[in-house]
């Protein structure tokens, strides 16, 4: 189990866009938080900083007490191995089976080629891959090609692939945005259930406020790259949440949103 500590990180892109502005928070090992904000608020940039796909311009990120921001080489690979990511774009290999796609989650521990992974995988890895599919109720479709599965089924396979990493932390970036409401609810229930059972630390970005209300125990919200809410969900009013999305149609992806209404800061 690992905690996450974000120390006043800022991110300014080469074009001058300030995506994050001194964002800081702590999330204890095994805790979960829902990250909210309109398109362009900086949510995706923050998640990318949390697994070092982006380096903050200032500040630092610590995962399990280790400085992720300054990690390089083997140290960074070891840390990333412990951070699972569930994307909005599911990115399964379409012509391979669900089982083969799940095995790719073990790549961080493998030296073999992608195409031969299902052949070279150890008996232990193959058994664990089936276990991961069982966890997401997809074992009966293990041999089915990924491109023949429904969107909800594909996302469940993607979660199984993440579980294959044996991560302590899961970052979920709009995991249900491309799904219909019923499939989205099943995926969220599954993700939260698995994370709770395994004691994982979870940060999940969501747009749907109704879904956020169901699953969020703690809300962290950004507007124009600044943290404006960080509090238990029960202490955040519906008006506070709606203010996050006021005039959201003026926002740009992962950048500043000039003229956006700023809700009153809410903190625990």
| Position 87 in a domain | no
Backbone angles phi and psi of 223, in degrees to 5: -135, 125
Q: Are 153 and 102 found together in one domain? A: yes
Backbone angles phi and psi of 158, in degrees to 5: -65, -40
Give the integer Cα–Cα distance in Å for 10 and 18: 8
Q: Confidence class of residue 266 from pLDDT cuts 50, 70 and 90?
A: low
| Position 88 in a domain | no
Q: Are 174 and 263 found together in one domain? A: yes
Cα→Cα distances 217→34, 108, 136, 239, Å: 8, 31, 23, 17
Query: Cα–chain-centroid distance for residue 38?
Result: 16
- Does pLDDT of 140 surpass 90? yes
pLDDT in tens, 145-198: 999 999 999 999 999 999 999 999 999 999 998 888 888 888 999 999 999 998
Q: Are 109 and 235 found together in one domain? A: no
- What is the pLDDT at residue 224? 93
- Does pLDDT of 263 surpass 50? no
Structural tokens at position 67:
């400085």
State the average pLDDT over residues 78-91. 86
Q: Are 228 and 118 found together in one domain? A: no
- Residue 186 is part of which domain span? 4-82+168-267
- What is the pLDDT at residue 119? 53
- What is the pLDDT at residue 242? 87
- What is the pLDDT at residue 74? 85
Place of tokens 């031969």: 116
Give the integer Cα–Cα distance in Å for 85 and 195: 13
Closest CA to 220 of 49, 6, 66: 6
Q: Are 197 and 255 found together in one domain? A: yes
Q: Are 122 and 242 found together in one domain? A: no
| Position 152 in a domain | yes
- Does pLDDT of 244 surpass 80? yes
Place of tokens 């390089």: 72
Q: Which of 166, 191, 220 is a domain's end point?
A: 166
């Amino acid at each position: 189990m690992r905690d996450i500590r974000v120390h006043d990180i800022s991110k300014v892109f080469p074009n001058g866009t300030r995506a994050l502005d001194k964002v800081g928070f702590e999330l204890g090992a095994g805790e979960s938080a829902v990250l909210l904000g309109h398109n362009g608020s900086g949510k995706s940039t923050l998640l990318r900083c949390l697994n070092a796909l982006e380096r903050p311009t200032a500040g630092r990120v610590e995962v399990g007490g280790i400085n992720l921001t300054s990690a390089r080489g083997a140290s960074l690979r070891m840390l990333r191995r412990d951070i699972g990511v569930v994307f909005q774009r599911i990115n399964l290999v379409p012509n391979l089976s669900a089982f083969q796609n799940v095995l790719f989650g073990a790549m961080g521990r493998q030296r073999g080629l992608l195409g031969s992974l299902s052949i070279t995988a150890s008996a232990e890895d193959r058994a664990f891959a089936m276990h991961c599919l069982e966890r997401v109720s997809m074992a009966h479709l293990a041999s089915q090609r990924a491109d023949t599965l429904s969107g909800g089924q594909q996302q469940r396979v993607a979660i199984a692939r993440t579980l294959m990493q044996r991560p302590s932390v899961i970052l979920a970036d709009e995991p249900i945005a491309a799904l219909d409401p019923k499939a989205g609810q099943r995926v969220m229930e599954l993700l939260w259930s698995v994370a709770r059972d395994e004691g994982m630390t979870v940060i999940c970005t969501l747009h749907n406020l109704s879904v956020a209300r169901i699953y969020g125990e703690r809300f962290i919200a950004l507007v124009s790259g600044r943290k404006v809410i960080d509090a238990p969900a029960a202490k955040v009013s519906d008006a506070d949440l709606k203010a996050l999305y006021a005039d959201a149609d003026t926002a740009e992806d992962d950048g500043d949103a000039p003229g956006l209404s700023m809700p009153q800061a809410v903190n625990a």
